[in-house]
Structure 1
Amino acid sequence: MERRAFGSTGLDIGVLTYGAMTVATDPGLRDGVAPSLLAALEAGVNLVDTARVYPGSEEIVGATIRAWSGPAPHVSTKVRSRARDAYRFACPVSEAYPPAAIRESVEDSLKALGRDVLDIVHLHQWHYGWTHDLTWLEMLHALRDEGKLRLIAVSVQDHEHDAALELVSRGLVDGVQAIVHLFESRPANALLPLCAERGVGAIARCVLDSGGLTGGLSAEDFTARTFLKHAPHADYAARLAALEAAFVPRVAESLPELALRFTASLPGVSTLTLGLPERRFVTDAAQSLAKGPLPAEAVTAIRREHVWSRNFYEKLL
């Protein structure tokens, strides 16, 4: 699997990251070990992305890594917030992430994962105003000095990727995580180039838009999916049809392949984190990404003609 530098941190990671939000749904899960994660490690994945709030995820990731006989992967996790509404609405960072709560979350993650050190630790939310109160960062620096974590990052909620620009510009973090996909290519205008310039790693998430970009979901499927239930299905389907007519099979064999290769083609993207709770998903994603970047003219056309500024998450909280 292609390896990429995670900014200027010295960490080299595969272009595909195992997103462990849904690892507990792996149908082959036995004794806390996930066959899908083992398949990802066999395919060359060397970063696993989890979070303190993903039910059972850290424990399963830890057990599966212990069952794996190859080189241990890097692990990224996210600090548990004390303010659920902060995933959508700004509040003081001292309410969402008081220093003591950050320490508690990191130490709980270390215990759940069975590790002595975490490779990447994110704040699970990010609001622009938090750049001006760095008590959260001081605590993460202290935990880094104690040897409990290596790299500090933030996960930018929803489609508010530009909220991290000052954070990246000032070099306050080692990495960022943001939504990037066929419809949401706006991070390529500012955030991703700035990350590349400042040596900050960038993890692209939601690259299949919660399954919407697979092209196989009905209106009922949309309604049943938390992050798609407020999407206008007819509009979404029409936009997918336009993408398919323009690029499938001319530059990619399927919509999912187009989505993965498009995001991986954007300069500044270090890796794509993708939910892969079944072995077949791992195989399909790895095979798609092995085909390499899309033609430059296709990337330009998608960015110019298919960007869709929207936020289906606004009504979730």
Structure 2
Amino acid sequence: MTLRPFGTSGLQVSPITFGAMRIVGDRPDGASSALLAALERGITAIDTARNYGESEAIVARTLRAWHGARPLIATKVKPRDISNWRHYVPMDVQFTSRSIEASVEESLRTLGVDCLDLVQLHQWYYRWSHETTWLEALHALRAAGKIRYIGVSAQDHEHDGVLKLVDDRLVDGVQVVFNAFESRPLVSVVPLAAARGVGVIARCVFDHSGALAGVATRESLARDVKLANASPELVTEYLRRIDRLHDDARAHGMDLVELSVRFALTHPGMSTLAISLADVAQVEAAIAAADKGPLPEVLFERIRREHVWVKNFYYFSTATVDGNRAV
């Protein structure tokens, strides 16, 4: 695969990163056949987190079974209170110097490596931009040779919350939600990161439900926990918008996987896409799409302007509106 620069860090990454949130150790040795297939086909980076259950352990078992060059490993610092995810709290409720160091040390042990390539805080609020303790802790770990680069993962759709970090060049990379429906980072964090030399990792390229991989039905969406409280009208609107996007894909001779991947990689400021790939077929489809390069400019602009849809499905899993199901 043609590698892309990760900002001005000096890192070169494959356009597709193996997203290990839902990784499964399906081989007798506990390794992941999908991750091995990804590495064999040229994917050079893995994105995991302390908060992803057994993910780091499965990645470690897979790397022991892998005999090629070691991929770049990105992981995330686990917040102290994982139940408090979407409502502002002071930074020291979620991250202290001690908790950051403990999380990194546990990742090193679990992954079986001496140094992590990228460590990201796994939560961020704009108001934390004026704090320094977290950054000092990560700089100390870097000085000790335990991490190479520092990043932040913006939660949900709050991509603008990392703008000060990018503008001040306090981090080497940021991770944001980005897809054909959520293209707003193209007018904020993505071009700013390109100008400041900060790498950008896109996640949820197929949307939160995976619907932009072309597999959504009313029945599959009904099983999605993030849509548990969504109204039938919301689901109908979701499917209508997917159909419109699918029409644009077919008109240009491609499916939704290809459209979604190529759209997300069209802006040169996008470093890599962290995609959960469950099997070899999904690995090959994502790589094949990336290899076709950027979308034609006319199609890229059409999607960016006409398909953006401001929503946050994460809130539908917990919230109702006036006691009724969220619309």
Give the structure-1-normalised TM-score: 0.96
For 2:198 and 2:109, the matched residues in 1 are separated by 28
Find the residue that maps to 2:185 and give its secondary structure: helix
> What does residue 186 of structure 1 align with?
184
> Deviations 1:43-86 (Å, cap 9, x if unpaired)?
11000000001111101101111211111101000001012244
> What does residue 312 of structure 1 align with?
313
CA contact (8 A) 2:77 2:121 kept: yes
CA contact (8 A) 1:212 1:228 kept: no
For 1:122 and 1:316, the matched residues in 2 are separated by 25
> Deviations 1:255-288 (Å, cap 9, x if unpaired)?
1211111001123100000001211110111111
> What does residue 286 of structure 2 align with?
285
CA contact (8 A) 1:264 1:271 kept: yes
Cα shift at 1:228: 4.2
- Does residue 259 of structure 1 match 2:260? yes
> What does residue 321 of structure 2 align with?
none
For 1:289 and 1:51, the matched residues in 2 are separated by 24
RMSD: 1.3
Cα shift at 1:2: 1.6
> Deviations 1:134-186 (Å, cap 9, x if unpaired)?
11111011111111000000000011100110110011100000000000000
Show the 5 A alignment for 1:224-235.
Answer: 224-230=223-229, 232-235=234-237
Cα shift at 1:230: 4.7
Find the residue that maps to 2:119 and give its secondary structure: strand
Q: Read off the aligned partner of 2:214 and give its amino acid letter.
A: G
Cα shift at 1:253: 1.6
> What does residue 97 of structure 1 align with?
95
Distance 1:157 1:230, change over 3 A: farther
For 1:123 and 1:205, the matched residues in 2 are separated by 15
Find the residue that maps to 2:150 and give its secondary structure: strand
> What does residue 18 of structure 2 align with?
18
CA contact (8 A) 1:35 1:278 kept: yes
Find the residue that maps to 2:201 and give its secondary structure: strand
> What does residue 132 of structure 1 align with?
130
For 2:167 and 2:220, the matched residues in 1 are separated by 40
> What does residue 51 of structure 1 align with?
49
CA contact (8 A) 1:223 1:230 kept: no
For 2:272 and 2:218, the matched residues in 1 are separated by 30
CA contact (8 A) 1:230 1:312 kept: no
CA contact (8 A) 2:46 2:71 kept: yes
Show the 5 A alignment for 1:137-156.
Answer: 137-156=135-154
- Does residue 268 of structure 1 match 2:266? no
For 1:30 and 1:276, the matched residues in 2 are separated by 19
CA contact (8 A) 1:230 1:313 kept: no
CA contact (8 A) 1:120 1:152 kept: yes
> What does residue 5 of structure 1 align with?
5
Q: Read off the aligned partner of 2:43 and give its amino acid letter.
A: V
Find the residue that maps to 2:313 and give its secondary structure: coil
Structure 1 stretches lacking a partner, 5+ long: none
> What does residue 171 of structure 1 align with?
169
Show the 5 A alignment for 1:24-43.
Answer: 24=24, 28-43=26-41
CA contact (8 A) 2:217 2:239 kept: no
CA contact (8 A) 1:48 1:76 kept: yes
- Does residue 203 of structure 1 match 2:201? yes
- How many residues align? The count is 314
> What does residue 244 of structure 1 align with?
246
CA contact (8 A) 2:17 2:43 kept: yes
Find the residue that maps to 1:154 and give its secondary structure: strand
For 1:23 and 1:250, the matched residues in 2 are separated by 34
Show the 5 A alignment for 1:105-120.
Answer: 105-120=103-118
Structure 2 stretches lacking a partner, 5+ long: 319-327
> What does residue 218 of structure 1 align with?
217
CA contact (8 A) 1:86 1:125 kept: no
Q: Read off the aligned partner of 1:15 and give its amino acid letter.
A: P
Cα shift at 1:223: 2.5
> What does residue 324 of structure 2 align with?
none
Find the residue that maps to 2:7 and give its secondary structure: coil
